[in-house]
């Protein structure tokens, strides 16, 4: 299957918009992070960020189209992001996922380290949980945390095993979060909701420590 010009143009435009939005928030330190948007289910094909690009800028060579084996579907000198296999695993595991985004932030890295031993981060009763499509009263959210394996197939396998159908994201210890949604709008909303919740929890822990110190309690 060959992607059409219209499909390429639409996917790349959406990736441009998301990339610049996240870049303005400093969510791509260095050349970290990667983004993808699915173009077709059968065969699986998706647009993904090229490796080693400065994500604060736009260029004609920021993305390429790959298949389910992470191979480019057309001639190119570009290399897909080193973690493209993770995107493929997400699309193969979550059939209705249409976009998958990965960012590195101070908040998500610290949360993943603080709660690494529990292998998950849990929060409940926070309004922004609704941003993840969970609308129950006093809802409980548990985000899986996997180890940061240097071997990408091992990392992808760990993420595949950790994926929960009702939680659109997985944290990697000291390596950011992968979040997905049915389309780019939903995946962006999920990333934003996760980041708010992580920052909220860190502020809450900080306030607790400060209160404990002010009360003369050993911490």
Annotated binding site for Zn(2+): 102, 104
Distance CA 197, CA 107 (A): 9
CB 168 within 8 A of CB 132: yes
Contact 30/8 with Cβ under 8 angstroms?
Answer: no
Considering only CA atoms, which of 152, 65, 59 is closest in space to residue 102? Answer: 152
Q: Judge contact between 95 and 165, C-beta under 8 A.
A: no
Nearest C-alpha neighbor of 37 from the set 57, 19, 21, 61: 19
Alpha-carbon gap, residue 25 to 28, rounded angstroms: 8
Question: What are the binding residues?
Answer: 102, 104
For the chain, the farthest-separated pair of C-alpha atoms sits apart, in whole angstroms, at 67
């Amino acid at each position: 299957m060959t992607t059409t010009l219209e499909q390429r143009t639409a996917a790349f435009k959406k990736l441009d918009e998301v990339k610049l939005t996240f870049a303005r928030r400093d969510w791509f330190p260095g050349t970290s992070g990667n983004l993808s948007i699915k173009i077709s289910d059968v065969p699986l094909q998706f647009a993904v960020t090229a490796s080693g690009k400065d994500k604060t800028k736009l260029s004609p060579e920021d993305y390429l189209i790959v298949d389910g084996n992470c191979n480019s579907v057309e001639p190119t000198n570009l290399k897909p992001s080193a973690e493209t296999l993770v995107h493929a695993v997400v699309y193969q595991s979550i059939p209705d996922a249409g976009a998958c985004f990965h960012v590195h932030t101070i908040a998500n890295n610290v949360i993943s380290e603080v709660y690494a031993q529990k292998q998950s981060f849990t929060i409940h009763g926070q309004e922004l949980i609704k941003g993840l499509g969970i609308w129950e009263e006093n809802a409980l959210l548990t985000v899986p945390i996997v180890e940061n394996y240097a071997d990408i197939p091992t990392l992808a396998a760990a993420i595949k095993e950790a994926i929960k159908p009702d939680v659109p994201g997985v944290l990697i210890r000291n390596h950011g979060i992968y979040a997905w949604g049915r389309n780019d709008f939903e995946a962006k909303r999920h990333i934003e909701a996760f980041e708010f919740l992580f920052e909220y929890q860190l502020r809450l822990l900080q306030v607790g420590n400060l209160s404990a110190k002010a009360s003369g309690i050993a911490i």
